[in-house]
């Protein structure tokens, strides 16, 4: 009786799967038509605001029992595969493979995109600017270690726009070939990863030397060639290089997020849940910092970040980077930025884009 019941249920699942496959192909045909329509008007085929709207609509309308948190993952791959039908999407990222930037790129663009590693942040910008990649993925800040200065510096000289942001939870694991703590004689990782795991290392492996390398992925690659070495890297790096987990989640702060930016050649449209990033240089005069923030304050705009960087061409002068909630086409944001011009030597809008969700 049980076997018969199971057989009937499995047949129902097969029938449903066949319907899903038919619907996926129907969706793909519509996507191809959308691609043709966009090509006729020379529009971007990847629209972050549209993608976020799809996720929100489906999650808000999900009656269950299919888990809402899985909807984004499933439809990310459906959208990724659909976009590849319009045009193979090439995405440059700060490599090598299995870095957290690589993971962030896959989270944003799915497995059907062609993710191409680059050796530096400037190389990512260059690939996108020259049209050799449609988009780029670069880190901009970590919740524990702060800003990635090189990324902000690149915006000073680049005309590329921020198209989206990604907030990725960073989980550091200790990895080795044997998976045994007693075999470890040295620790290899990127300096930032070592810093984020400082307390655990001091309490458990204080006597072992630490070796700085260019990335957590390179650390995993070196550990895969040396039985005495352990790497601090991601789970993805363990899978790629055939390593075993010695200890999971060794970061000192369990709430460790890195923010990544998607850069492209055009400004995304309004999604209704946006953030705008701007860069500006102020005139050196008394009270300027107060007046710089006043256009946003009196319009009750929410500033989520302000960061300063030295202006390399002039000593003791600074460039400011600011994030404000809203899109550049929103009246309040537009008026505030226009007013900001009065106090600045220059103002540059880096992009308006959908806010990331945790």
Q: 202-219: per-residue pLDDT in tens?
A: 999 989 999 998 888 889
For residue 110, give the CATH number of its domain: 3.40.190.10
Per the structure block, which two tokens stand in for 319? 């460039």
For residue 347, give the CATH number of its domain: 3.30.70.260
pLDDT of residue 315: 59
Q: In this structure, are 188 and 205 located in the same domain? A: yes
Between 77 and 46, residue with greater pLDDT: 77
Entry pTM: 0.78
Question: What span, in angstroms and rounded, lies between the C-alpha atoms of 301 and 269?
Answer: 19
Residue 300 has pLDDT above 80, yes or no: yes
- Catalytic residue check, 258: yes
Using a CB cutoff of 8 Å and minimum separation of 24, what contacts does 200-209 make? 200/247, 200/250, 200/251, 200/252, 201/250, 204/247, 208/184
At which of 68, 86, 104 does a domain end? 86
Beta pairing, strands 173-176 & 229-233:
antiparallel
Which residues lie across from 138 on neighbouring strands?
261
End-to-end Cα, the chain, rounded Å: 46
Which residues lie across from 161 on neighbouring strands?
264
Residue 341 has pLDDT above 60, yes or no: yes
- Catalytic residue check, 260: yes
- Residues whose CB is less than 8 angstroms from the CB of residue 151 and which lie 6 or more positions away in sequence, other chains included: 121, 138, 139, 140, 261
**Residues 185, 129: contact at Cβ < 8 Å?**
no
Whether 334 is in a domain gets the answer yes
As a whole number, the mean pLDDT across the chain is: 87
Cis peptide before 156 (omega within 30 of 0): no
Model confidence band, residue 303 (pLDDT cutoffs 50, 70, 90):
very high
For residue 64, give the CATH number of its domain: 1.20.59.10
Active-site position among 93, 258, 280, 296: 258
Residue 286 has pLDDT above 90, yes or no: no
Per the structure block, which two tokens stand in for 183? 């075999």
At which of 63, 86, 109 does a domain end? 86
Q: In this structure, are 276 and 336 located in the same domain? A: yes
Model confidence band, residue 8 (pLDDT cutoffs 50, 70, 90):
confident
Q: Which residues of 340-349 are buried (b: 16+ CB within 10 A; e: fewer)?
A: beebbeebeb
| Of 104, 105, 103, residue with least CA distance to 113 | 105
Q: In this structure, are 301 and 235 located in the same domain? A: no
At which of 263, 294, 314 does a domain end? 263
Active-site position among 260, 280, 296, 321: 260
- Residue 333 CB-half CA count within 13 A: 21
Whether 252 is in a domain gets the answer no
Per the structure block, which two tokens stand in for 261? 């930016």
Per the structure block, which two tokens stand in for 347? 């103002």
- Residue 95 CB-half CA count within 13 A: 12
Model confidence band, residue 358 (pLDDT cutoffs 50, 70, 90):
low
Over residues 221-240, the mean pLDDT reads 90
Q: In this structure, are 332 and 303 located in the same domain? A: yes
How many domains in the chain?
Answer: 4
Q: In this structure, are 20 and 74 located in the same domain? A: yes
Residue 260 has pLDDT above 90, yes or no: yes
Q: 107-155: per-residue pLDDT in tens?
A: 888 888 889 999 889 999 999 999 999 999 999 987 766 778 888 889 9
Q: 36-76: per-residue pLDDT in tens?
A: 777 666 666 677 778 888 888 898 899 989 988 888 889 88
Please state, for a pLDDT cut of 70, what percent of the chain lies above it: 95
Question: What span, in angstroms and rounded, lies between the C-alpha atoms of 225 and 309?
Answer: 40
Whether 40 is in a domain gets the answer yes
* Phi and psi angles of residue 138, each rounded to the nearest 5 degrees, phi first: -135, 145
Please state, for a pLDDT cut of 90, what percent of the chain lies above it: 42
Q: In this structure, are 38 and 75 located in the same domain? A: yes
pLDDT of residue 316: 54
Over residues 186-210, the mean pLDDT reads 91
Residue 160 has pLDDT above 90, yes or no: yes
pLDDT of residue 135: 94
Domain that holds residue 298: 269-354
């Amino acid at each position: 009786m049980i076997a018969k019941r199971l057989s009937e249920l499995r047949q129902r699942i097969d029938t449903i799967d066949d319907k899903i496959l038919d619907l996926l192909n129907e969706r793909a045909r519509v996507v191809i038509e959308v691609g043709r329509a966009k090509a006729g008007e020379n529009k971007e085929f990847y629209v972050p605001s549209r993608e976020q709207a799809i996720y929100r609509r489906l999650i808000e309308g999900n009656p269950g029992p299919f888990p809402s948190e899985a909807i984004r993952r499933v439809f990310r791959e459906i959208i990724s595969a659909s976009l590849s039908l319009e045009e193979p999407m090439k995405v440059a990222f700060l490599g090598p493979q299995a870095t957290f930037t690589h993971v962030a790129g896959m989270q944003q663009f799915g497995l059907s995109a062609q993710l191409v590693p680059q050796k530096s942040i400037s190389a990512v910008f260059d690939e996108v600017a020259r049209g050799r990649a449609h988009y780029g993925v670069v880190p901009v800040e970590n919740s524990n270690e702060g800003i990635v200065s090189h990324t902000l510096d690149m915006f000073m000289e680049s005309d590329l726009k921020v198209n989206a942001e990604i907030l990725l939870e960073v989980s550091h694991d200790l990895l080795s070939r044997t998976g045994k703590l007693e075999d470890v004689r040295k620790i290899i990782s990127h300096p930032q990863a070592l810093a984020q795991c400082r307390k655990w290392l001091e309490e458990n492996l204080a006597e072992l030397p630490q070796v700085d390398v260019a990335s957590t992925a390179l650390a995993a690659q070196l550990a895969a060639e040396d039985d005495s070495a352990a790497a601090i890297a991601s789970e993805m790096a363990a899978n790629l290089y055939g390593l075993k987990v010695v200890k999971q989640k060794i970061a000192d702060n369990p709430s460790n997020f890195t923010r990544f930016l998607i850069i492209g050649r055009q400004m995304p449209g309004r999604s209704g849940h946006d953030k705008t990033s701007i860069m500006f240089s102020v005139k050196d005069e008394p009270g300027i910092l107060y007046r710089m923030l006043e256009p946003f304050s009196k319009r009750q705009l929410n500033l989520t970040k302000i960061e300063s960087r030295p202006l390399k061409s002039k000593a003791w002068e600074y460039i400011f980077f600011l994030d404000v909630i809203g899109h550049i086409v929103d009246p309040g944001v537009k008026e505030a930025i226009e007013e900001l011009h009065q106090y600045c030597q220059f103002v540059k809008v880096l992009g308006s884009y959908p806010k990331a969700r945790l």
